[in-house]
Structure 1
Amino acid sequence: MMRRAVIGTAAVTMAISMAACGKAGDDKKDSAASGDTKSIGLLLPENASSTRYESFDKPFIEAKVKALCGDCNVKYSNAEGSASKQKQQFDTLIAQGVKVIILDAFDATSTASWVKEAAAKGVKVVAYDRLATGPVSAYVSFDNEKVGELQGEALVTALGAKAADANVVMINGDEADPNAAYFKSGAKKALEGKVKKVVYEASGEWKPTVAGQKIGTAITSLGKDGFQAVYSANDGMAAAIITQLKAAGINVPVGGQDAGVDAIQRIVAGDQAYTIYKAYKPLADSAAELAVNLLQNKDIKSVASATVDSPTDKGIPAKLLSPKVVTKANIQDTVIADGLYKAADICTADYAAACTAAGLK
């Protein structure tokens, strides 16, 4: 009887142990299925052509996510100008169980399969700044054709009375970026009938070195007097273009976009005619709010009240913000008034005299 009792007790103990093991395994399975409900992925495209992503977008998004969800965190990576690297970063986030990803695609045309596969696994993607292909859950950006229109209008304004007889060189953004097409389309719309013609056009690929090479080709083929203005799709490329123009002894209006502090300094100094200011904080805040709402299964229509179509999907919930032109005349009332920069950020020793002349304080 004693032996039977021992065997019986051992059997019960083993059964309880096996049940406990089964429960632990079930818990692990449930956890994997539910994913990471406290993390939001953030993938930004590059950090060479523009300083904005590291200086503004990333910290603004992180701060807003923390304000909306105190125990949430942001898992961040930068693609550093590589679509393949961004794909690896995207896959890593999914493997980690992240259920919402804010994606500013380096190559928006390549993301359709990524986003589709993610959606099949219950992962929601917020397309940020650029409209990624595939079934994204929401999109937040600026009215990018309007950005181009403002660029074109600002270039015409900079030319003044010379506009009607002006030949224009266009150095556009990367053709893999759908925004670049919107910028170009908007700019051409604004330039049409206001300038003589576009005499040279090329993609600078969002790379200052490439933009510098392209403007060099334009100078060689057109001559120093063959054009009277240069449209640059962004400020990083504009900087390289201006350097090449100066080296060739050419002084014509050049504009860009992104409102980087170096661009504002070039405007103060008279080297750059204008930039386009896209208020990064409202953009970042909207993306963070959409991401947190999606993570918490809340409605997003209060944030994304418009809709847009991509090459692969229709009726994507969207929020589109309005850009502004910045010239020397309104620096004080735009980037300084909004707190993007302090006058001291712009008016370093090399620009102190020009800032005083421009009335910056």
Structure 2
Amino acid sequence: MKRIGIILGWLVMVILITGCNQKPKIGFLMDDLNNERWKKDKELFVQKVEELGGIAVVEVANTDPQKQILQAQSLIDQDVDVLVVVPVDLLEAGEIVKLAHRNYVPVISYDRLIKDCNLDYYISTDNINIGELQANYLTKISPVGKYALISGPKSDYNAYLLRLGWMNILQPLIDKGDIEVVVDEFSNFWLPDEAYRIMTNYLKNTQDVDAIICGNDALASGAIIALKDIKKNGNVLIAGQDANIQAVRNIVAGDQTITIYKPIEALAFAAADAAIKIADGEAPSNMNITVNNGKRLVPAILLEASIVNRQNIKMTVISEGFMGESEIYN
């Protein structure tokens, strides 16, 4: 009996030690990896979680909202401590939050806001401000003219926020009669083919367009291809965002006017840091504002973005190590 008692005692100690040394497990649910920037988000997030002593488990839904819900359940079944979600669909991802909460797993919405649910935290850039930066830059160059607006898909709340930022700048000029919006469409996906289709449909009837504001650089590249078809590339102002390598090359070539550089490393670190703290039972720091998601005021971190143009490429994306000079100019 004494021997059995000693063995049981050791087993209890092993269980306690194992529990104490267990690393926080963070689930990272992503939409897709088609866009260059999301590959960087994934790499940086996993790196930051590991640096902070955790384990990151990544699932990619390939733009399928139902698949993302199943992946969430799978990660919950694997006993993740926190879910970090780049939602495929702003509303359907609410089911992920419900699933997680039924299993006492907190949820951080990453880059894109999950709407109409009891979301725990939101970490992103200020997307209204990004839209304002895009529109303000182009209207300083061309305060009069015909503008095309190509938003992202309606399933992504960022598309609405960006457009709101555009209209904050454009509406006074529209009211004055200085600017006419000749195209104003949401795309189905954040892909070049969408903008190519939208702009080709417009350009087949008229070539009269002075500026195009796009929800991201992939859409901007599609608009550029449509302009190349009629040999107008370089003659129309174009704004995108994400600072993709092709976008920066397009800026160097004179086909794109600006892109917006999001602080992806800071974004990934903020999300990883918050997730690890939550897993350790601490309150995440720097959640100094709230964002209304239609259901509640969600504690949030919103980081600032910056403009990249032909003149400051070396001072922005190159100096910060986001991409190399040889990648751009070769």
Per the normalisation by structure 1, the TM-score is 0.81
The reply to whether residue 347 of structure 1 matches residue 329 of structure 2 is: yes
CA distance in 1, matches of 2:219, 2:154: 15
CA distance in 1, matches of 2:82, 2:312: 38
How far 1:249 moved relative to its partner?
2.3
Counterpart residue type for residue 279 of structure 1: P
- Select 1:254's aligned residue among 210, 215, 238: 238
The reply to whether residue 94 of structure 1 matches residue 80 of structure 2 is: no
How far 1:232 moved relative to its partner?
1.0
Structure 1 residues 121-140: aligned runs within 5 Å: 121-133=103-115, 134-140=117-123
The reply to whether residue 110 of structure 1 matches residue 89 of structure 2 is: no
Counterpart contact for 1:283–1:321, Cα < 8 Å: yes
The reply to whether residue 53 of structure 1 matches residue 38 of structure 2 is: yes
Counterpart contact for 1:138–1:290, Cα < 8 Å: no
CA distance in 1, matches of 2:214, 2:287: 30
Counterpart residue type for residue 184 of structure 1: R
Structure 1 residues 22-41: aligned runs within 5 Å: 38-41=24-27
Structure 1 residues 259-298: aligned runs within 5 Å: 259-298=243-282
How far 1:38 moved relative to its partner?
2.7
Report Cα offsets for 1:255-284 as digits up to 9, x if no partner. 110001111010011010100111100010
CA distance in 2, matches of 1:297, 1:303: 16
What is the DSSP-based 3-state SS (H/G/I as helix, E as strand, rest coil) of the residue aligned with 1:47?
coil
What is the DSSP-based 3-state SS (H/G/I as helix, E as strand, rest coil) of the residue aligned with 1:328?
coil
**Partner in structure 2 of residue 172 of structure 1:** 151
CA distance in 2, matches of 1:111, 1:308: 17
**Partner in structure 2 of residue 7 of structure 1:** none
**Partner in structure 2 of residue 151 of structure 1:** 134
Counterpart contact for 1:290–1:303, Cα < 8 Å: no
CA distance in 1, matches of 2:68, 2:43: 19
What is the DSSP-based 3-state SS (H/G/I as helix, E as strand, rest coil) of the residue aligned with 1:75?
strand
What is the DSSP-based 3-state SS (H/G/I as helix, E as strand, rest coil) of the residue aligned with 1:193?
helix
- Select 1:185's aligned residue among 156, 164, 184: 164
CA distance in 1, matches of 2:259, 2:201: 24
CA distance in 2, matches of 1:40, 1:234: 28
Counterpart contact for 1:45–1:80, Cα < 8 Å: yes
What is the DSSP-based 3-state SS (H/G/I as helix, E as strand, rest coil) of the residue aligned with 1:188?
helix
- Find the structure with the greater CA-based Rg: 1
CA distance in 2, matches of 1:88, 1:235: 30
CA distance in 1, matches of 2:50, 2:254: 40
Q: Percent identity?
A: 31
Residue correspondences, number: 313
**Partner in structure 2 of residue 244 of structure 1:** 226
- Select 1:230's aligned residue among 212, 231, 240: 212
RMSD (Å), alpha carbons: 2.3
How far 1:37 moved relative to its partner?
5.6
How far 1:207 moved relative to its partner?
2.3
**Partner in structure 2 of residue 356 of structure 1:** none
What is the DSSP-based 3-state SS (H/G/I as helix, E as strand, rest coil) of the residue aligned with 2:87?
coil
**Partner in structure 2 of residue 320 of structure 1:** 302
CA distance in 1, matches of 2:192, 2:200: 12
What is the DSSP-based 3-state SS (H/G/I as helix, E as strand, rest coil) of the residue aligned with 2:62?
coil
Counterpart contact for 2:23–2:55, Cα < 8 Å: no
Structure 1 residues 183-222: aligned runs within 5 Å: 183-194=162-173, 195-205=178-188, 206-221=190-205
The reply to whether residue 119 of structure 1 matches residue 82 of structure 2 is: no
CA distance in 1, matches of 2:197, 2:146: 19
Counterpart contact for 1:277–1:326, Cα < 8 Å: yes
The structure that is helix-richer by fraction is 1
Flag the 1:74–1:147 CA change in 2: closer, same or farther, 3 A: same
The reply to whether residue 85 of structure 1 matches residue 67 of structure 2 is: yes
Structure 1 consecutive aligned stretches of length 4 or more whose deviation exceeds 4 Å: none
Report Cα offsets for 1:162-218 as digits up to 9, x if no partner. x32x01111111111111101001011112234422112111231221221111111
- Select 1:308's aligned residue among 288, 291, 294: 291
Counterpart contact for 2:109–2:121, Cα < 8 Å: yes
How far 1:154 moved relative to its partner?
1.8
What is the DSSP-based 3-state SS (H/G/I as helix, E as strand, rest coil) of the residue aligned with 1:298?
coil
